[in-house]
A and B are shown apart, each in its own frame.
Chain A
Amino acid sequence: MSELNGYKSGSNLEKVLRAGHFAVTAELGPPKNADGEVVRKKAGILKGFVDAANITDNQTAIVRMSSIGAGAIAFQSGLEPVMQMTCRDRNRLGMQSDLLGAYALGLRNILCLTGDHQTFGNHPESKNVHDIDSLQLVQMVVGLRDKASLQCGEEIKGLNPRFFVGAAENPFGDPFDWRPYRLGKKAKAGADFIQTQLIYNVPRFREFMKRVVDLGVHKQVYILAGVGPLKTPGAARYMRDQVPGMDVPDEVVARMEAAGKGIEDKKQKAAAFKEEGLKICVELIQQMREIEGIAGVHIMAIEWEEAVPIVAQRAGLLPRPVLNGN
């Protein structure tokens, strides 16, 4: 551990959080092809505006460039990646070998996820794996780091991977009462940070966080609140009505709808929707900053990476801290 000077992984995200800064992460969706240039371009948009960017892993069960491949490209482009890893597509053998490879490529952060069910994606007829669940994945990655042992207990001879380990939590998933305990279980499993599902219902999230704070879980993990700019009222309605575990209040949908009222020109209308979406997102970040136990925000601008610098700027999150050396 000595070469990491007390850091678990030495990642930028870890350093920013440890230094007590309000952290900012974003999301970078890899392309549905083998074009590394797409990743370089997106990394270029986010670089300097976030502390690290999550690279999604076959998000919504749709085949995309791997989070490790895209993550390595982002890393080479100067953007620190958070490799997302789901339990849907690989068993513990595949996951661990990928973790060794990812570390060798320079990746230092991981977000452990269950994974959307494959029936949602473009290969609904496929077999899923779920050999281990997201909590057991957290334990496994922590074991690689802190015990230098594989999940089976076998010792890793030579360099062991030392990741900064994250997990997700959906504060709006059911059973609502159980969620703070589940978060506590993830902390107990050894998670270093948590990124939450998109938050639009702030009062309900406050209620969740109050219970998290009462349990003292916020002192065991850094909790990054998930926020994201809405592009259109349709997107807001879709998330409200169609996405399981999402909570988008009617007022948010109404605000998005009202933003385009009276505008005839299609382009202007789209711009007005986007502007309102950005505005709501900035307001959400301001509200998140005031909630006890929140250590940062995770900005999910799906296929709209350009929105991240704007939101970060307007929310007063810039410039991002530069923590060189140790």
Chain B
Amino acid sequence: MIVAEQKPLKEIKSLVGEAQRVLIVGCGTCVTVCFAGGEKEAGILGSLLRMSARMEGHEKSIGEVTVQRQCEWEYLDAIGGRIAEADIVLSLGCGVGVQALAERYPDAIVIPGLDTKFMGLPLEQGVWAERCAACGQCILGLTGGICPIARCSKQLLNGPCGGSSKGKCEVNPEIECAWQLIYDKLKAQGRLDLIMEITPPKDWRTGRDGGPRKIVREDLRLVEADKVTA
């Protein structure tokens, strides 16, 4: 899932600024699961902003609405009326959600209430960790299901650097050394031969370095290719 964290209230207030009518838009998918921008968080943030405005003597009307999935335009159609009434739309979606709102409603002023952090999983209640960097060319089949691109601080492809110590990364003892994990896993499975060969330089074009990415599946498209050029 996409893991995000709410911005500090001070920053959110500064982004809201003088706007009178604020619509907070929560998202019912990833950010609900990571307790950052679901219906509950939208409600709490709404109360905080109302309270804060009252204490500072401002008049603000703050509404909340949560859509099932903010990153798809069709889920945003139903809230068009409420968006039209707002001076500012405070999205509690991930970066994709914020942009989906801004694209679907070009006249609306949309601001982010979250900082989108990474693609990861919950390790335990309240703890999330990064697992995928969306490099566009998955190598997990060669590395025992542990990603050195997302989990090695230096994205190394040929084993650990000299800073790997007692299973930890040199950057921070909280970070596990991805290559220690890979080594342990492959050793246990008797597959160390997978990392004995030299892995050649990665083609980063499939990742962000090739520019913003897009996938076109002609087999799924409902309109002719030349009609839509997004």
List chain A positions with a Cβ less than 8 A from chain B.
87-88, 92, 114-117, 119-120, 128, 130-136, 139-140, 151, 168-170, 173-175, 178, 181-182, 185, 188-189, 197, 244-245
Let me know if A116 and B158 touch, CB within 8 A. no
Report how many A-B pairs have Cβ atoms within 8 Å: 93
Assuming the A-B contacts A131-B201, A244-B170, are A178 and B154 also in contact, with contact meaning beta carbons closer than 8 angstroms in the complex?
Answer: no
Residues on A with beta carbons closer than 8 Å to the beta carbon of B156: 114, 130, 133
Assuming the A-B contacts A117-B154, A175-B183, are A136 and B159 also in contact, with contact meaning beta carbons closer than 8 angstroms in the complex?
Answer: no
Instruction: Report the Cα distance A135→B159, complex, angstroms.
Output: 9
Let me know if A174 and B198 touch, CB within 8 A. no
Let me know if B160 and A135 touch, CB within 8 A. no
Residues on B with beta carbons closer than 8 Å to the beta carbon of A197: 162
Residues on A with beta carbons closer than 8 Å to the beta carbon of B165: 173-174, 244-245
Q: Does B29 contact A (CB under 8 A)?
A: no
Let me know if B157 and A178 touch, CB within 8 A. no
Beta-carbon nearest neighbor of B149 in chain A: A130
* 10 A–B contacts from the bound complex (CB under 8 Å): A115-B154, A133-B155, A151-B201, A173-B160, A173-B161, A173-B163, A174-B164, A181-B196, A185-B159, A185-B196
Q: How large is the interface on B (under 10, 10 to 19, 20 to 34, 35 or more residues)?
A: 20 to 34
Q: Does B168 contact A (CB under 8 A)?
A: yes
Minimum distance in angstroms from B92 CB to a CB of chain A: 27
Of residues 54 through 83 on chain B, the ones whose CB sits less than 8 Å from some CB of chain A are none
Using A173-B164, A182-B159, A182-B160 as known contacts, list a sample of 15 further A-B pairs with CB atoms less than 8 Å apart, ordered by residue number in A. A117-B154, A117-B171, A130-B154, A131-B204, A133-B154, A133-B157, A133-B158, A136-B200, A168-B162, A173-B160, A173-B162, A173-B165, A175-B179, A175-B180, A245-B164
Q: Does B213 contact A (CB under 8 A)?
A: no
Let me know if B163 and A135 touch, CB within 8 A. no
Residues on A with beta carbons closer than 8 Å to the beta carbon of B162: 114, 168-170, 173, 197, 245
CB-contact partner of A175 in B153, B170, B184, B204, under 8 A: B184
Closest 6 CB pairs of A and B: A170-B162, A244-B170, A135-B158, A244-B165, A114-B161, A244-B163
Of residues 175 through 209 on chain B, the ones whose CB sits less than 8 Å from some CB of chain A are 177, 179-180, 183-184, 196, 198-202, 204
Residues on A with beta carbons closer than 8 Å to the beta carbon of B180: 174-175
Residues on B with beta carbons closer than 8 Å to the beta carbon of A92: 201
Residues on B with beta carbons closer than 8 Å to the beta carbon of A178: 159-160, 183
Minimum distance in angstroms from A210 CB to a CB of chain B: 20
Let me know if B158 and A174 touch, CB within 8 A. no
Residues on A with beta carbons closer than 8 Å to the beta carbon of B196: 181, 185
Assuming the A-B contacts A114-B156, A136-B158, A178-B159, are A244 and B201 also in contact, with contact meaning beta carbons closer than 8 angstroms in the complex?
Answer: no
Q: Does B167 contact A (CB under 8 A)?
A: yes
Q: Does B166 contact A (CB under 8 A)?
A: yes
Residues on B with beta carbons closer than 8 Å to the beta carbon of A185: 158-159, 196, 198
Minimum distance in angstroms from A248 CB to a CB of chain B: 13
Let me know if B198 and A245 touch, CB within 8 A. no
Assuming the A-B contacts A151-B201, A189-B198, are A244 and B164 also in contact, with contact meaning beta carbons closer than 8 angstroms in the complex?
Answer: yes
Interface centre among A88, A182, A197, A244 (most CB of B within 10 A): A244
Instruction: Report the Cα distance A136→B165, complex, angstroms.
Output: 23
Minimum distance in angstroms from B194 CB to a CB of chain A: 12
Instruction: Report the Cα distance A168→B115, complex, angstroms.
Output: 39
Let me know if A175 and B154 touch, CB within 8 A. no
Residues on A with beta carbons closer than 8 Å to the beta carbon of B170: 116-117, 120, 244-245
Instruction: Report the Cα distance A181→B179, complex, angstroms.
Output: 14
Beta-carbon nearest neighbor of A152 in chain B: B201
Interface centre among A139, A175, A245 (most CB of B within 10 A): A175
Instruction: Report the Cα distance A169→B199, complex, angstroms.
Output: 18
